[in-house]
Amino acid sequence: MKKYVIIVAGGKGTRLESELPKQFIIISGKPIILHTIFLFKRFDPVIETIVVIHQDYQDYWKRLLDEYQVNFNHILVTGGPERFHSVKNALDHVGEDGLVAVHDAVRPCVKTETIRRSFAVAEEKGTAIPCIEIPESVRRLHPDGSKPVAREKLRIVQTPQVFHSKILKDAYRTDYRARFTDDANVVEHAGYAIHLVEGNIENIKITTREDLLLAEYYTG
């Protein structure tokens, strides 16, 4: 089956108090987003790559490719107001018979084995969501305090989340809801089962300056 990857970099995030969105910050010699894309190109050199970028930064993206002398075939898509809308825009460029991964641009440390597992399980079962166990103790907050939660029944969800393209396109025909924080939520809302696969602990989503240091270590 044809493989696609949607690299979601449509935000203008300011949590790092940087002049640029975090996907463009330099670590280990190049922007985070390029580290991320190259991981998928190493997994499959001919994977159809769709890059979703906020309209305000599309010219910057093109200059970045020139600066780093990067030339690879990809489709540039305009990001929407929420992640949901960005993915929905990208799906207009995905065929009906394929496998499509959706991956956060600011996860530049996913391992090839995680990508391969996710595609393999999605091809067999229709959906595949990488996740890892929670090593720390967890408590649930209540109005009158907190109570422990059995951590062995919980998982931390990662990307790439991989689906048969028909499933993902069908799921995204719905309207946006605030609880759609990832693609698995959208697909589950449409009535499809979600299948979990093993992720990798290095596959962090860069959010803080401490995450930048860790990602620099993993990619260095």
DSSP 205: P
What domains are defined for the chain?
2-219 (3.90.550.10)
* Residue 10: predicted pLDDT: 78
Q: What is the pLDDT of residues 11-55, one digit of tens each?
A: 765 556 667 899 999 999 999 999 999 999 999 999 999 999 999
Residue 198 pairs with which residues in a beta bridge?
131
Whole-model pTM: value is 0.95
How are the residues of the chain apportioned to helix, strand and coil, as percentages rounded to the nearest 5? 35, 25, 40
Question: Checking DSSP bridges between strand 2-9 and strand 26-27, what pairing results, if any?
Answer: unpaired
Q: Residue written as tokens 């190493």?
A: 42
* Residue 53: predicted pLDDT: 97
pLDDT mean by block of 10 residues, the chain; 220 residues: 95 66 96 98 98 96 96 95 97 96 98 98 98 96 94 96 98 97 98 98 96 96
Q: Nearest 5 degrees, angle CA 42-CA 47-CA 49? A: 105
Contact 31, 23 (CB under 8 A): yes
* Residue 20: predicted pLDDT: 87
Q: What is the pLDDT of residues 25-36, one digit of tens each?
A: 999 999 999 999
- Computed on alpha carbons and rounded to an integer, the radius of gyration of the chain in Å comes to 17
Angle between helices 32-43 and 112-125 (to 10 degrees): 60
